[in-house]
Amino acid sequence: MQLPDAIKEKPGRNYETIAWKWMRYSALLLIPLVWGHVLLQDILVGVHRIDLNYVALRWASLGWRIYDVLLLGFAFAHGVNGLRQVALDYIHNPRARRGVEWGLLIFWLLITGIGAAAIIGGVSALPE
């Protein structure tokens, strides 16, 4: 049985395809990051014992800071991509769609960058 040509063709490399693949690949990392966070913070430590000293002790390790930055970036990327999908359901003008996509990408980069700077650079500002 021969497949029609439309089924044989691979999708082109456009923004939608890249965004779709990014969400699938980053979810493979996001799921264990989130469950590791829940296991550590909620079950092993307990939210009632988390205070500024605990955060300072945890963030003294570069590994935990990288872990938290990845968790922030991936989780926020999934949220912003969902917002992008909802917005594009209602925006039909190609220029407006492109503007919303670029605006949301810049928003994600800005907020993730600020969060990363706070996590990575904020350790020296914590009280001893």
CATH number of the CATH domain containing 32: 1.20.1300
The yes-or-no verdict on residue 124 having pLDDT over 60 is: no
pLDDT in tens, 20-46: 888 888 889 899 999 999 998 888 888
The yes-or-no verdict on residue 91 having pLDDT over 70 is: yes
Amino acid 120: pLDDT: 87
The yes-or-no verdict on residue 117 having pLDDT over 90 is: yes
Instruction: Report the predicted TM-score, pTM, of the whole model to 2 decimal places.
Output: 0.76
Largest CA distance in the chain: 72
Provide the token pair at 49.
């014992």
Does 39 map to a domain? yes
The yes-or-no verdict on residue 114 having pLDDT over 90 is: yes
Does 23 map to a domain? yes
Smallest Cα–Cα separation from 107: which of 80, 75, 82, 79?
A: 80
Does 87 map to a domain? yes
Does 34 map to a domain? yes
Domain total of the chain: 1
Question: Domain range for residue 49?
Answer: 15-125
Does 67 map to a domain? yes
Per the model's pLDDT, the better-predicted residue between 125 and 32 turns out to be 32
The yes-or-no verdict on residue 125 having pLDDT over 90 is: no
Contacts of 78 (CB under 8 A, 6+ apart): 23, 26, 27, 30
Amino acid 55: pLDDT: 84
Mean pLDDT score of the chain, rounded to an integer?
86
What mean pLDDT comes out for the span 80-89? 92
